[in-house]
Chain A
């Protein structure tokens, strides 16, 4: 029987799956709050997303955790999806495809982590 190499896809598939779960649970309500309700002044107080409130949110442990998880899992989800879509349109998993999808997701993960820690507690 021919020898087979174990695929390292579970790492990326796991991040993709977790990101998909996050996107399904929180994506629509986040779009509604940040993109519709707050800009149009619907339902929520006008200063819901004011700078001091957002800063306080990002400085709390829970807020930091939520923002980090939302940013990094969403981008890994998108990266994996785009990586596979590129494969489907004929751009196969070469270094360029990996760097521009998983690489970008890794960079965004680091930046969001550093930025969140940088604004203090």
Chain B
């Protein structure tokens, strides 16, 4: 057995009952090469300070709970490995662009509101009864939106987006990608309703096409692409709405 390696993990702590502002704290964590950063944080909680608070669930990049800023980059901590940082110190913080609730836990209520606003569910073109049977979809129609269904709401893209940082009201990459997912679904007829959000002052035009959202996305959803496709859609809606009025933003 090789000798035990120790990594320094600096955690930005914030306990709302006692701290005025977030403060860094360094822990020396023994690790093995198969340990993720999440496991490192769990080690700290189990062995050094039980009050350390963070979200996690699946440990395999499915649930989207354990996002953190790791050395300043938004990442799922279950997908980042300590060995890749050793022997340098790892610094971890709560996801950027969100208010910190406690330690590594951020307040996601703003994101949830945005998610609700884009109506992330199929709004049928014509409602069908059970007797009329299922909606038929071809593989090509399926291919139009499948990529955008992979979003796990981890909000790494929000932590990456400089425009979300400048304007917290911006609907943002993740919710826009889901908006696009439903708009592109052949069973859906809600595009005009969602256009009200896409074309609004909080909508797609806040994006300055930096593309960092797509870079940090652990599921290759490419939210940046979804936002930019909808700039074209919102532009068409802006200029063509007088020719064929069909709802959308007022």
Residue ranges of B at the interface with A (Cβ–Cβ < 8 Å): 117, 162, 166, 196-197, 199-203, 205, 208, 231, 234-235, 238-239, 249-250
Contacts and interface: CB of A to CB of B under 8 A. Distances in A.
Given A1-B117, A4-B203, A87-B166, 9 more contacts: A4-B196, A5-B249, A6-B238, A7-B199, A7-B234, A8-B238, A9-B205, A10-B234, A10-B239
Interface of A: 1, 3-11, 13-14, 84, 87-88, 92
A105 to B, nearest CB: 17
Contacts of A87: 166
A78 to B, nearest CB: 15
A84 B199 contact: no
Contacts of A3: 250
A88 B207 CA distance: 11
Nearest to A14: B235
24 contacts: A1-B117, A3-B250, A4-B197, A4-B201, A4-B202, A4-B203, A4-B249, A5-B200, A5-B201, A6-B199, A6-B238, A7-B200, A7-B205, A8-B238, A9-B205, A10-B199, A10-B234, A10-B238, A13-B205, A14-B239, A87-B166, A88-B162, A88-B166, A88-B208
Given A4-B196, A88-B162, A10 B250 contact: no
A6 B205 CA distance: 11
Contact of B208 (A1, A4, A11, A84): A84
A88 B164 CA distance: 11
Contacts of B208: 84, 88
B163 to A, nearest CB: 8
Contacts of B200: 4-7
Nearest to A85: B208
